Amino acid sequence: MKIELLFEPYSFGDNSLSNRFVMAPMTRSRASQPGDVPNALMAEYYQQRASAGLIITEATQVSLQGMGYAKTPGIYSIEQVEGWKLTTAAVHEKQSKIFLQLWHVGRVSSSKVNGLQPIAPSAVIAKNTSVYIFDGAPNGDATFVPVEEPREMTTEDIKNVISEFAQGAKNAMEAGFDGVEIHGANGYLIDQFLRSKSNLRNDEYGGSKENRIRILVEITKAVVEAVGKEKTGVRLSPFIQFKDMEDPEILETIMLAAEELNKLDIAYLHLCEADWDDAPSVPGDFRKELRSKFKNTIIATGNKTPEEGEQLIAEKLVDLIGFGRKFLTNPDYPERVKTNSKLNEISDNHTLFGGGDARGYTDYPAMI
């Protein structure tokens, strides 16, 4: 198949993209310590990959409470905002656009990471789920530790989290980002509210599907009020069940959420799709129904080939295609697709999470 549509310019809101390649969010744990501050090495990493029409940053916690993994960056301190300015300036210098992904992990955390007991919709621990710290392991590797039982959030906790997302969005604008993406996927806090297995509440935030989507809608409204609907996207993961997140009602719940997000007229909806071998494919009927419910831009990410992305765009089921590991190892990934060139592979799994230098981070070569 000839790849053409992926290279077409695309616009949404105030953002004019040079192509339809999206660099998807990938946690890399390179923030400076203390304070989880973005740094010059991170700015270099993102600038190298500004061949993407749109970059969505690694997940970035809106508070210390919202942190689940060591050395991940935040967006709640003055130092973090100043640190992120290095990245936005570097990416804009290369004429690309960049959104910050706003994150709260909820129950997917441990006091060994941030010194705090995790919080969640309900006091239900995520089975078979770990997070990581860096604690003197060989090669500087991440050390995985099991998550801890969370404390059920009070109504005041929920109000605080909504406020933290809104403030994080404002801080992102101060740091120079073109917009923000609310992380409602992959078993983290918002996703925990969406699913009946992790949300056992009997108040206005639990029980019915309408109640379980309430926090997502309220966070999105708060972010829209803070920075504008054209600068607000949401990421959801209807078909991903890891972190103990199985739910027979999730597809109906996601579709209901999509209708409410459509009413808010946000910039985009980003589907995080399963990316492992023999993972379930997303049914065409689901994509068609989602397109009928949500009228603005749809991004699909999940280990897709360029050919698969081209086909989805041609069928008008999605508008932009996210690529993760391909951008991790190939900073000039669109050019390699255009010229059908060989791709770099991951050189060392030890460097995927953490590391204090360029190894496995900014040393993947572009084509000469």
We report the CATH number of the domain holding residue 131 as 3.20.20.70
The structural domain count of the chain equals 1
Let me know if residue 300 belongs to a domain.
yes
Give domain status of residue 363, yes or no: no
What's residue 259's pLDDT? 98
Q: What is the dihedral of CA 65, 80, 183, 322, to 10 degrees?
A: -150
In b/e form, how buried is each residue of 297-317, taking b as 16+ CB within 10 angstroms?
bbbbbbbbebeebbebbeeeb
What are the strands, taking DSSP E only, across 282-367? 297-301, 320-323
Q: Is residue 365 part of a domain?
A: no
Domain with 120 in it: 5-351
Q: What is the structure's pLDDT at 231? A: 98
Q: Give pLDDT tens digits for 74-93.
A: 999 999 999 999 999 999 99
For residue 277, the model assigns a pLDDT of: 56
Whole-number pLDDT of residue 1: 82
Identify the pLDDT of residue 280.
Answer: 62
Tell me if 357 is assigned to some domain. Answer: no
Q: What is the mean pLDDT of each run of 10 residues along the chain (368 residues)?
A: 96 96 98 97 98 98 98 98 98 98 98 98 97 80 94 98 98 98 97 97 98 98 98 95 90 97 98 70 89 98 95 97 97 97 93 90 93
List the helix and strand counts (H, then E) for the chain.
12, 14
C-alpha 89, offset from chain centre:
21
Pairing state between β 179-183 and 297-301: unpaired
Could you tell me if residue 158 is inside a domain? yes
pLDDT computed for residue 279 by the predictor: 55
Predicted pLDDT of residue 240:
86
Q: Is residue 360 part of a domain?
A: no
Q: Is residue 362 part of a domain?
A: no
pLDDT of residue 176: 98
pLDDT in tens, 335-351: 999 999 999 999 888 89
132 noted as active-site residue? no
Active-site hit among 10, 46, 188, 361: 188
Q: Is residue 129 part of a domain?
A: yes
The token pair that represents 100 in the structure block: 């910050």
Instruction: Round the average pLDDT of the chain to a whole number and report it.
Output: 95
- Inter-axis angle of helices 155-174 and 78-93, nearest 10: 40
